[in-house]
Amino acid sequence: MKSEKRRQKILVSLIVLGILSITLFIFNENEGYILEQTNNLSFGNLTQTQITEYSLTETTEYQCTLNMPEERTVILRIDDITPWNNLNLMEAMTREIIDRDYGASLGIIPKRMEEDRELIIWLQEINQNEKVELSQHGHEHSFEEFGNLNYEQALEKIELGKEIMMKYFGEIPLNFIPPYNLASNETIDALKDSGFKTYSGGTRDKLVEENFIREGYDATTYKYFTEEFIYAEEVLEDCNNSLDEKGICVIMFHPQDFTEDGKIVDWKYQEFIKVLEGLEGLDAQVVSFREGFCREFTSQTLQ
């Protein structure tokens, strides 16, 4: 009688466990399905279906004369364009900017770019718009990647990243954004020798030379040191102060500023929109680094 009861107990436990497993399985399946669907939705309007790969002989190299802009100038910088960020969000943010006829520099992490075909296709398409500039954001984006490198080490990483940019986008980038906004002096030398014209690091990075301009960010939607989300009102105030002071304001965004666990948080995203709406009141042109600093633009194909 006792062993019969025990058998029944075990049986009931097994049934409960079984039901629980099935529920969990269905839940996971659903979650996967929902994610897949959202991803597919955003690509409905893409005309391109295949990745174009460029050879060296098809690569375009730009030349320009550097000049500080005469009018008040806001530069928008979106860092961490990479497969691990939310593509729907990167696409939406860029769309909001170009729909207002503003420009932006997208900070692309070259390494592992090939892991996201859709991301490359989208970037190739968005790059047709001259308001959009593709900047090189380091090579692999390891912690303070360029912070302590000597000249040779820096040059090697810069060139590795640049080759990936050339392969997928058919052009040599002009602007470099170091991961964590940090780079050694030797990295700056290597960047100059590698043909970069502009550089955007941290808030204290300001230096105008004949063939190289350093212009760090002045306002941001997220302060990494204090792990603090910054509301549009403060971003616009910081930006306006910078414009009053030196005529330039660089705003740094990261797509992940507006997400939690990879999902877009609506109220945060609305703050991004408020920043864009508020730019109208700053009496400034809103452009990429290239449009802001490069004059007498010429391009040639590498031989």
Question: Which two three-digit tokens encode residue 62?
Answer: 């730009």
Give the binding site for Zn ion (CB under 5 A).
79-80, 179
CB of 64 to Zn ion, least distance (A): 25
Q: Which residue has the tokens 């666990």?
A: 261
CB of 217 to Zn ion, least distance (A): 11
CB of 180 to Zn ion, least distance (A): 7
Compute the C-alpha angle 106/169/162, nearest 5°.
80
CB of 240 to Zn ion, least distance (A): 25
Handedness of CA 127, 76, 269, 278 (dihedral sign): negative
User: Which one, 80 or 218, has the nearer CB to Zn ion?
Assistant: 80
User: Which one, 109 or 294, has the nearer CB to Zn ion?
Assistant: 109
Q: List Cβ neighbours of 127 (8 Å cut-off, separation of 6 or more).
A: 134, 169, 171
Question: 278: burial class by Cβ within 10 Å (0-12, 13-18, 19+)?
Answer: middle
User: Which one, 79 or 257, has the nearer CB to Zn ion?
Assistant: 79
User: Which one, 256 or 285, has the nearer CB to Zn ion?
Assistant: 256
- HSE, CB side, 13 Å, CA atoms: give it for residue 194: 28
Handedness of CA 35, 92, 243, 69 (dihedral sign): positive
Could you tell me which of 60, 64, 74 has the C-alpha nearest to residue 292?
Answer: 74
CB of 179 to Zn ion, least distance (A): 5
User: Which one, 81 or 120, has the nearer CB to Zn ion?
Assistant: 81
